[in-house]
Amino acid sequence: MPTTAPHALSDVTASDGTLRRFLHGLPGVDGVGLEARAASLGTRSIKTTAKAYAIDLAISMVDLTTLEGADTPGKVRALGAKAVHPDPTDRTTPATAAVCVYPDMVAAAKEAVAGSSVKVASVATAFPAGRAPIAVKLADVREAVSAGADEIDMVIDRGAFLTGNYMKVYDEITAVKEACGTSARLKVIFETGELSTYDNIRRASWLGMLAGADFIKTSTGKVAVNATPANTLLMLEAVRDFRAQTGVQIGVKPAGGIRTSKDAVKFLVLVNETAGEDWLDNHWFRFGASSLLNDLLMQRQKLATGRYSGPDYVTVD
């Protein structure tokens, strides 16, 4: 079995016991302090040139997402077209980072974004619940990869995590990583709303990074609480610390619940002042979102023209 754990911490995953001791030995998180810090950064006032920069950066970081039972190739083609040219009236608008779809839509998505910089990401591993046998999950991943997915967004087994079976979670991630091969980057979704505590989110972050995640991602967007400034701040601290210890840089993707430009800019401030500017690039930070893009586009139009835009001046997804 390939080990993706970096050298500095490779001993950590030697056994169930060492992994548990390591994760439980991470510094605790004081939730009130964490939320206060996130709220404080949320008061940064990002105006004029800084705002223009932040909006374009945010657009370039969007994983434009459709994850519905009613998804069709037609819907996915429309989404792909929008990802490539988010604002048909202004070709200076950056493309989004990716479109994010279910595995059976990967081929359609691939076709829709062909020739552009836009990647195709696919949720897999029996998204969103992840309650399927490992063989099914791996088959899910392999299908998506073979259909051309550039990125795989997997969910961890929250049940295993919450029963303290960290090695099971670790082994699944490494197996999925292997199934991704060399072509697809792996995003590991924790479903932070189900892990519930900040201590758990910190442990999950390290577990995911040790197991070879290229990105750690908050949530599926399918539960009550998804990305928040606080849980994203916590994960940004984790990738910052992981790089400091191992030299390996990991990306972060908050997903679900980020709907306005104002929110997106706050998240970029979190990135800037926590992980640092090395992460201010869509290779290292993404927004899992759908309606966010139109708000970013309207704000972009406002900055360009000085007038407030309206929903009729951006495209419906």
Partner 1 sequence: MAPVFDYAPAPESRSVVDIAPSYGLFIDGEFAEAADGKVFKTVSPSTEEVLSEVAEAGEADVDRAVGAARKAFEKWSALPGSERAKYLFRIARIIQERSRELAVLETLDNGKPIRETRDADLPLVAAHFFYYAGWADKLDHAGYGANPRPLGVAGQVIPWNFPLLMLAWKIAPALATGNTVVLKPAETTPLSALFFADICRQAGLPKGVVNILTGDGRAGAALIAHPDVNKVAFTGSTAVGKEIARTVAGTRKKLTLELGGKGANIVFDDAPIDQAVEGIVNGIFFNQGQVCCAGSRLLVQESVHDEVLDSLKRRLTTLRLGDPLDKNTDIGAINSAEQLARITALAEQGEAEGAERWSPACELPETGYWFAPTLFTGVTQAHTVARDEIFGPVLSVLTFRTPDEAVAKANNTPYGLSAGIWTEKGSRILAVANKLRAGVVWSNTFNKFDPTSPFGGYKESGFGREGGRHGLEAYLDV
Partner 2 sequence: MSDARLSVLKTYKLYVGGKFPRSESGRVYEVTDSKDNWLANAPLSSRKDARDAVVAARKAFGGWSGATAYNRGQILYRVAEMLEGRRDQYVREVAGAEGLSKSKAAEQVDAAIDRWVWYAGWTDKIAQVTGGGNPVAGPFFNLSSPEPTGVVAVLAPQESSFLGLVSVIAPVIATGNTAVVVASEKAPLPALSLGEVLATSDLPGGVVNILSGRTAEIAAPLAAHQDVNAIDLAGADETLAKELEIAAADNLKRVLRPQPVDNWSATPGTDRMTAFLETKTVWHPTGSLGASGSAY
Residues designated as active site: 153, 217, 253
* Residue of 81, 160, 225, 280 interacting with partner 1 (CB under 8 A): 280
48 binds, among partner 2, partner 1, none (CB under 5 to 8 A by kind): partner 1
Residue (226 or 309) nearer to partner 2, CB = 226
Q: Is there binding between residue 31 and partner 2 (CB under 8 A)?
A: yes
Residues 6+ apart with CB under 8 A from 50: none
Q: How far apart are CA 317 and CA 96, in angstroms?
A: 14
Cα–Cα distance for residue pair 141/181, rounded to 1 Å? 10
Closest approach of partner 2 to the CB of residue 26, in Å: 16
Residue 168 binding target from partner 2, partner 1, none, CB below 5 to 8 Å by type: none
Verify binding: residue 195, partner 2, rule CB under 8 A.
yes
Nearest to partner 1 of 108, 252 (CB atom): 252
Nearer to partner 1, 76 or 201 (CB): 201
> DSSP per residue over 258-312, as a string?
--SHHHHHHHHHHIIIII-GGG-STTTB-EEESHHHHHHHHHHHHHHHSS---GG
Based on the shown chain and the rule CB under 8 A, indicate whether residue 33 belongs to the binding site for partner 2.
Answer: yes
Quote the tokens at residue 240. Answer: 């910052």
Mark the segment that binds partner 1 (CB under 8 A) among 45-53, 86-94, 137-145, 168-176: 45-53
Q: Nearest approach, Cβ of 278 to partner 1 (angstroms)? A: 9
Of 138 and 234, nearer to partner 2 (C-beta) is: 234
Interaction mask 211-250, partner 2, x per CB under 8 A: -------------xx--xxxx-------------------
> Using CA atoms, how far apart are residues 278 and 111, in angstroms rounded to an integer?
31
Q: How many CB atoms lie within 10 A of CB 35?
A: 17
Cis peptide bond upstream of 128, omega within 30: yes
Count of residues engaged in binding partner 2, rule: CB under 8 A? 19
Residues 54-83 that bind partner 1 (CB under 8 A): 54, 57
Asked if 43 interacts with partner 1 (CB under 8 A), we say yes
312 contacts partner 1 (rule: CB under 8 A): no
Is residue 92 at the binding interface for partner 1, with CB under 8 A as the rule?
Answer: no
Residue 303's binding partner among partner 2, partner 1, none (Cβ under 5 to 8 angstroms by kind) is none
* CA distances in angstroms from 167 to 93, 133, 163, 208, 213, listed in the order given: 44, 16, 11, 11, 15
CB contact set of 187 (below 8 Å; sequence gap of 6+)? 121, 151, 152, 153, 154, 213, 214, 215, 216, 217, 251, 253, 286
Using rule CB under 8 A, residue 306 touches partner 1: no
SS3 assignment for 193-245: HHHCCHHHHHHHHHHHHHCCCCEEECCCCCCCCCCCHHHHHHHHHHHHHHHHH
Q: What distance in Å separates the CA atoms of residue 288 and residue 259, rounded to the nearest whole number?
A: 10
Cβ proximity to partner 2: between 66 and 192 the closer is 192
| Total H helices, total E strands in the chain | 13, 8
Q: Which residues bind partner 1 (CB under 8 A)?
A: 27-30, 32-34, 36-37, 43-51, 53-54, 57, 237, 244, 268-269, 272-273, 277, 280
List residues near partner 2 by CB under 8 A.
30-33, 35, 192-198, 201, 224-225, 228-231
